[in-house]
Structure 1
Amino acid sequence: MSRVFVISDHHFGHQKIIDFESRPFQNAEEMDEYMIKQWNTVVSREDKVFHLGDFSFYNKEKTRAIVERLHGNKFLILGNHDRGRSKAWWLDAGFNEVSEYPIVFQSFFILSHEPMYMNKHMPYVNIHGHIHSQKYEGQHYFNASVELWDYKPVSFEEIKSSLVANEEQ
């Protein structure tokens, strides 16, 4: 049975993100290989992964080579660093689906790159990236940035469990 995952902000090929976010790698190549390995330890070929943006700083050929190595059906929601390239560019780089805008998933989860304003009366949860190792407080936000999840996509089962645990506290 296939599962659904989310993840954000890999920044494949981005040497400077190692310093910006204190990532534990010597260089971008080491970081890339570790992130590919981590992805494939949890995602099977049949699974679906929503990538919430800022995927790759490489050219199309190198980006496609990475996308091809990653398990699952991949859906990209464009992040601020992805927007310089067209939707067609990302589809040609190997993503199964691409959205320029946030999407609503299972009528309850708003998937976006940047956190969206959510007041306490909204029944939704915003699953986002963009802010890397920072976290927003409250039950309406879930940060899927790689730094918080050991560079592994997070399953929706895990997200739902964490939201229920937060609600009970």
Structure 2
Amino acid sequence: MPHVYVISDHHFGHANIIDFESRPFTDAEQMTEVMIEKWNAVVQKEDKVFHLGDFSFLNKEKTSAVVSRLNGYKTLIMGNHDRGRTRSWWLSAGFDEVSEHPIVYGGFFFMSHEPMYMNKHMPYVNLHGHIHSQKYEGGQYVNVCVEHWEYTPVSFDTIKAMVVPSEEQ
């Protein structure tokens, strides 16, 4: 049975992110290779991955080359750094689906690039990226930026176990 994964903020090709976020890479090329390897170590070809934005700073040819090397059916929810390119650009770069807006998954999870406003009375959990190594307090937010997950897509089952009481799963 296929698995579902979530991840965000790879910033492929963005050399400055290494310094900005103290990433453990010597350069953008090493960062790209390690992150592709970590993705493919957990994601199989039949799995589904939701990428919550800020995927690549590379041109279309190089972005397509990265996307084609990544396992799984890939859905991009566009982030602030992705929005300079059109939805059709990302589809032609190899994503299977692209959304310009947050989506609701499983009737319970808001998946967005930027954290969304949530109060304690809202019966949802916000899976988000954008804030990199920072973290919002409370059980209604799960930051899926690569910095929190060792640059590896995190399974939806892992996220559900974190936020949904076991009797409700």
The alignment's TM-score, normalised by the length of structure 1, stands at 0.96
What corresponds to 2:27 in structure 1?
27
CA distance in 2, matches of 1:51, 1:118: 21
Q: CA RMSD in A?
A: 0.7
1:45-60 mapped onto 2 (5 Å cutoff)? 45-60=45-60
What's the % identity of the aligned pairs? 70
The runs of at least 4 consecutive aligned structure 1 residues that moved more than 2 Å come to none
**Displacement of 1:163 after TM fit?**
1.6
**Displacement of 1:155 after TM fit?**
0.5
SS state of the match for residue 126, structure 1? strand
CA distance in 2, matches of 1:14, 1:60: 14
What corresponds to 1:120 in structure 2?
120
CA distance in 1, matches of 2:107, 2:130: 22
What corresponds to 2:86 in structure 1?
86
What corresponds to 2:38 in structure 1?
38
CA distance in 2, matches of 1:35, 1:156: 19
SS state of the match for residue 138, structure 1? coil
What corresponds to 1:154 in structure 2?
154
SS state of the match for residue 58, structure 2? coil
CA distance in 1, matches of 2:156, 2:52: 14
SS state of the match for residue 2, structure 2? coil
What corresponds to 1:6 in structure 2?
6
SS state of the match for residue 16, structure 2? helix
The alignment's TM-score, normalised by the length of structure 2, stands at 0.96
SS state of the match for residue 80, structure 1? coil
In structure 1, give the amino acid aligned to 2:75.
F
**Displacement of 1:21 after TM fit?**
0.0
Q: What count of residue pairs does the alignment treat as equivalent?
A: 165
What corresponds to 1:17 in structure 2?
17
SS state of the match for residue 74, structure 1? strand
In structure 2, give the amino acid aligned to 1:160.
K
Structure 2's unaligned 5+ residue stretches are none
Cα displacement string for residues 109-150 of structure 1 (whole angstroms, at most 9, x for unaligned residues)? 000000000000000000000000110000100000000000
**Displacement of 1:164 after TM fit?**
4.2
Cα displacement string for residues 81-103 of structure 1 (whole angstroms, at most 9, x for unaligned residues)? 00000000000000000000000
